[in-house]
Every structure is written in C-alpha cells, then in structure tokens.
Amino acid sequence: MGKIHSIDPRTEQIIGVIPESTILEVDEKITNAKSAFKSWGNLSLHERIGFLEKISGNLEKNKTKLINIICEEIGKPEASARWEVNDAINSIHYYINQIQSLHKVNIKIDEKSFEDTKAFIDYTPYGVIGLITPWNYPCCLSFWTIAPALLSGNTIVYKPSEYSSFVGRMIYDIIDEVLPHNVFNIVIGSKNIGKYLVGSDIDKLFFTGSVDAGYDIVKNIGIKTYSLELGGKDAFIVCEDADIEMTTGAAAWGAFTNAGQICTSLERCYVHEDILEKFLDSLMQKVSNLTIGKDIQPLISNTQLEKVQSHLEDANKKGCKVLVGGKRANMQGYFFEPTILIDVDHSMKIMKEETFGPILPIMTFTSEDEAADLANDSKYGLSATIWTKDVERGKELGEQIKVGMVLINEISFTLDGGDYWGGIKESGNKSSESKLMQCLMAKSHVVYSGSEKRSKWY
C-alpha cells in the first residue's frame, strides 16, 4: 500500500503520512455508495435538509481545527483559511434555500389530439457522484458540489487532492459523523486513484483541476455525464479611463493573493498605452508594501515552484524586463517573490500557459479591439476582468471576449455556492444550469387517464 506524505509548504517539513487507498478499496467505496443511495435518495427533502444543517453545525463546531489544518497543509494565512470554511457553511445554506424552490414543471399537451393526457418533468438524483477536488481551495471548492449533490439525494465518493489529503480527511470526518453510513465516502491517493475513479461505475463526475487532467478524463470516462472546471489564463484589461488607484489595488490582489494559485488569478494584464506609466507607479507602490509569509503565501510544492521559475526563465530569454521580484524568496518554504514583468509578448509561456504563481506580466494596447484580440488569443476561456469608469463600455468590450465569466471593475468574484462558475475552450465545459440542477436529472412523465384506446393503437 502506498503512502501520501503531506508537506507544510511554509517549512518544507513533513506534517504527516496517510495511507493511499487501493483499487479494491475504491471499488468497495463505490459499491457502498450505491447501496446507501437506495435509502438516502428515498428520504424526504425535509430529512435531507436536516442532515445538511447538522453538517453545517459540525463545520462550525470544528472550524478552528479545520482552519489550522488548511493553514498547515496548504500554507494559507489564517484569514484566507477562515474565509474558506465560512464560505463552505454559507454554501450549504445557499443550496438549502435553492432546492426548496424547486418544483416539477408541467408541459402543455395538445388537448384535442391527446385528450385526458398530462405531461410533466420532475427531477431525480443521478446516484453516485464522483468528486475530485483541487488543493488551492480544498474546503470551499469541495462544498460547492458536496452540498447540492447531497441535498439532491446523491451519494458521493470524494477524492481530495493528494496535496490536501489531511484537509480532505477532516472534511470527511465532519460529514460522516452526522450522515447515515456510506452516504459520503472518501478515497485518498494521487493521479492513479483519481484516474481509476473516473473510469469506475460512478454515475456522474465533478472534477476541478488541470487542463491536462481534463483531457485525460475525456479520453477515459466513457459514456457518463461529467463536469470539468479546469485552468485559466485570465486577462485583466485596463482602459484609459480606469480609476488607477482602485485598479492597481485589484491587480496586486488578483495576481498575488494565494500566491497566484487561483484559476481566476490575474495572469495577463493589458493596459492602455496612455496610462501605463501611472499604472506602473501606483502598482509598484502597492507591491512594495506586501510582506512574504504574511501577504504572500508559499507555492504548494517544489514542483510548482519549478514551473513558475521555468516560465520566468523563458520570458527572460525572450527579452522581458523584471521590474520587481523575479526569484525565489531567500527563506525557508516554497516562497516566490511577487514579480512584475514588462516588455512581454505572446511568444512567451508567461502569456500563454497557466503559471499559477505570483507573477504579473504587463502588455500595452492602443484600442479596445486590440485588447479583445489579445484577451482572446488564448486556449483558455475561464474569465476576464475589465476596468473602466464607463460600465456600458465595459459590457460592450466584455461581449467580445470568449470566456465563461466577465467581471467589470471586479476581480476573482464568486457567486454564492460557486454557482454558475466555469469556463469554455480548454478551461472546461461550463453548464448553462446551476450547480444544483447539474446534480439532478430531468425525468419526463406522460400520464394518460382516459379509458378509450388511442385511434392509432392496434
């Protein structure tokens, strides 16, 4: 049996070892979840809501311990970890409120042709949901699916990232303590366990992670419904009328919070050429006030650190200019200095590939059409943010950008419960439905209550 060694990225020290699930154990968890679905799915909505309220209470009761584990295993500042747990609790109540407004839909039938016939659509759970979650927000991203999936009557087999195994294990303990046995199950492991879960006898998959993993899922999942929330290379467009102070504050936060390890981090900045000097002066001032270890957390691993360094090395070779930062911090842990680059272009990895690190590359544009073209010159399509005092102008520009989410004068904003989150192109297969509706199947019903046979029947 393999083992997962969890490392505190702030100290590079092992904080614990947890056994990796075997393939047989994954099969057992799926079998157990299928068995539990029969009774869990038959509970009344009122009963399931009661269980979810108990989970919320248990999260509140264990909040401090869970926050500490997130800080230790992911390297987050306490405030960020606290936000995560609070968001998880809020997501439960958001979906509790949402599901109570769900009703069957009556379908109009041609009464002259089909006398005594009624049709309607109601919603049923899928069965066993496979849930694979990332390490960067291991608590709140998990509950964005856990809450609606359980409320809908599904059971779950949950695989947290191997980089957040202890966080995942505590989430499992908090939930399993109050739910009927085998409704919520966990498997621990690296990519091989995740890949096996994808191809297993689950009924639907929700996955958040890398583009490469998303491609692998598409190749191996078979005929099965799935949701993919993948990477991004988000564009940050600064129009010439933007409020400089507000915009540079957002840029610094968007690029460097969570050490840039957010799928909607600011990864590409396009500034109108007429305001570049003012923008840079204000931005540099704000970045100079950031403290590594307090404002800037570590990267999750040495592997991620090396990826960030490789993107910077590629940009350096191709002629970029480093205004600030540009190297690993001279301290223990996987810390990298907040870095600002200019003289970059789209031949560089730093402008084309997801970096997932605290680097902010800046280009200029001369017209809004050029800005839209630059933003669209990407295989990713998660989100984009536009900064202008003219909101209608911002909306018009946003219409030109091919992404799943557009923000005007806002950065990395999430709706309650992470609802309607997602991207297009290689950033995922964003659904037009809410997360709750993605956890349910629409089942159509036709009921004939008459006593006469149809004229066309034999």
Dist. CA 332–CA 163, nearest whole Å:
19
Residue 336 CA to residue 293 CA, distance in Å, equals 10
Assess contact for 238 and 442: CB atoms under 8 A: no
CA atoms within 13 A on the CB side of 290: 25
Q: What is the rounded CA–CA span in Å between residue 293 and residue 309? A: 19
First to last CA, the chain: 63
> Helix or strand or coil: residue 25?
helix
| Active site residues per annotation | 229, 263
Paired residues of 322 in beta bridges: 341
Q: Can you give the C-alpha Rg of the chain in angstroms?
A: 24
Distance CA 449, CA 446 (A): 10
Q: Coil, strand or helix: which one is 44?
A: coil
| DSSP letters for 138-193 | TTHHHHHHHHHHHHTT-EEEEE--GGGHHHHHHHHHHHHTTSPTTSEEE---SHHH
- 163/189 Cα distance (integer angstroms): 9
Distances (CA, A) of 123 to 102, 172, 183, 362: 9, 27, 20, 48
Helix extents (H) in 391-453: 391-400, 435-438
- As given in the structure block, the two tokens for residue 288 are 């100079």
Helix, strand or coil, per DSSP, at residue 289: coil
